[in-house]
Amino acid sequence: MQMNVKISVGLVLYNSRVFLPGCLKSVFSQTFADFEVIAVDNNSMDYSADFVGQNFPRVKIMRNARNYGFSYAHNQAIAMSTGEFYLCINPDVILKDDYLEKILNAARMDGSIGIATGKIYRLDTDFVIKKDIRTIDSTGIYLTRNMRHFDRGSGEEDREQYDKPEYVFGATGACCLYRRRMLEDIKILGEYFDNDFFFSREDVDIAWRSQIMGWKTLYTPSAVSYHLRTVLPERRNVLPGEMNMHSVKNRYLLQIKNHTCRTYIETFPYALFREILIMTYVFFKERSSLKGISFVVRNFRKIAKKRKLIMKRKKVSDSYLAYWFGKRSITLNKNDG
């Protein structure tokens, strides 16, 4: 496919009207100009797509008749895009005016970098950038041995502890840059993001798959953005039941598709107790999430097929993949870039 621009900026809209002025104004205020913007609307009830069309005519808009989820809509945007890189960005994100320039420079350091992410600060409910914002939202994603994943630095005060470029396991889908060549390389059954995820953990899945297939994720502190995060582990009890259901379902999709024998064996002693806790909680407290377990059982053959296709294209050692469990970053070599 011929690339027409350097960066395609892709947004998924779902009742996002309140955030769009700040988000899109920051996109169109960039010092870097070689980009296009694509918005896919998942049947918003607040006229999000109409607002974009009336106020930001440069944006290409696709309207869906229902809510197909984050993964499916971004796959639609990627299919429409013409950029060498694809910036996945939430409507509740604001970019610093040199973000595209800085993140592109980082991604170009090495052709093996498939994902690039910057320093994301956390906004409060006002969705306004204040001078004293120092709370970190994410500097990349890391995995734990008990099969949890977290945003590195989440909730920490910025004391310059994340002020050097590093390789990380993955990047939050709220705001990160994907190399188009990587997206095409890791595509499975015609999907970049896995449509079965719908919402939640799809960014971890694409990061894990990219690691398996030999791509790297680079964190650069020079690319700065701001995010209003509402989904946090400690807020599970107040989140909608469907959201929690997808979280449970996707935990098992992640593992079935991407674990190697070695990573599974090495994490099993740490993950077993948590699995027991999750199953107990679902069966006795959060029964709405049983639909997620049922989905995995009913679709196991399709999930196993995806796993087989992923493992056929594995390009790194099991020891390298196992290294990432419990590891937050890898220092760049002097000759990187």
Angular region, 16: left φ>0, alpha ψ -120 to 50, beta rest: alpha
For residue 232, pLDDT over 70 is answered with no
Structure confidence at residue 5 (pLDDT): 87
Structure confidence at residue 128 (pLDDT): 74
Structure confidence at residue 279 (pLDDT): 93
Instruction: Give Dmax (Cα) for the chain.
Output: 55
Over the chain, what is the mean pLDDT? 93
DSSP one-letter code for 289: G
**How far is the C-alpha of 62 from the C-alpha of 231, rounded, in Å?**
26
Structure confidence at residue 227 (pLDDT): 96
pLDDT bracket for residue 170 (50, 70, 90)? very high
What does the pLDDT look like over 80-133, one tens digit per residue?
999 999 999 999 999 999 999 999 999 999 999 999 999 999 998 778 787 778
Structure confidence at residue 244 (pLDDT): 87
pLDDT bracket for residue 2 (50, 70, 90)? low
Once rounded to an integer, what is the mean pLDDT over residues 21-46? 98
Q: Where are the domains of the chain?
A: 237-316
